[in-house]
Amino acid sequence: MEQDGSLLDQIGAQNADGRSPLRLAVENGLTEATQSLINFGADANEYFPDPLLQVAISGYGSQVHDPDRLGVVRALVGARVDINAQNAGGWSALHTAVYLDLVEVVEVLIELGGRDLSMDLVTDGGQSAMDMVKSVAMFNLLQEFSLLQELGLWQD
């Protein structure tokens, strides 16, 4: 990374692989680093090659149930990322969390971003998040959230 420039330039700088400090913090499940970089102005809506929220959720081969990863998800959603951003295949953060059966992550997405969270997005393969449900707990959570949204009763 370049050694001169403003703090914001350094925070947004990319390494030889095209990864910013925020992307590296998210990939490695570093909650405090993620929050600090966001607080100093890093772009939480960075998209290379996938939205950061999906990177945090999928864990890219890491232990996806790691509590630090949940903290990273909280930091990103709290920073008002585009919670419905889709990757090249049309997958959103909700698709990824549902596919991996990460009920606790979906709870965070609903808790912190529920008003904006869309249940209507479909992947390029035509799948909605409900089409990817693998457990009764996930089904019940999404059904309840969807019903509250439809009735206009959702409040976050």
Closest by alpha carbon to 84, among 48, 123, 49?
123
Whole-prediction pTM value?
Answer: 0.84
Can you give the pLDDT at residue 1? 44
Separation of alpha carbons 42 and 96, rounded Å:
23
Can you give the pLDDT at residue 35? 95
Domains within the chain, CATH numbers bracketed = 7-150 (1.25.40.20)
Cβ burial, residue 93 (10 Å; 0-12/13-18/19+): buried
Residues in the chain: 156
Phi then psi for residue 47, to 5 deg, are -140, 90
Q: Is the pLDDT of residue 155 over 90?
A: no
70-82 per-position pLDDT tens digit: 899 999 999 999 9
Separation of alpha carbons 128 and 91, rounded Å:
9
Average pLDDT, the chain: 85
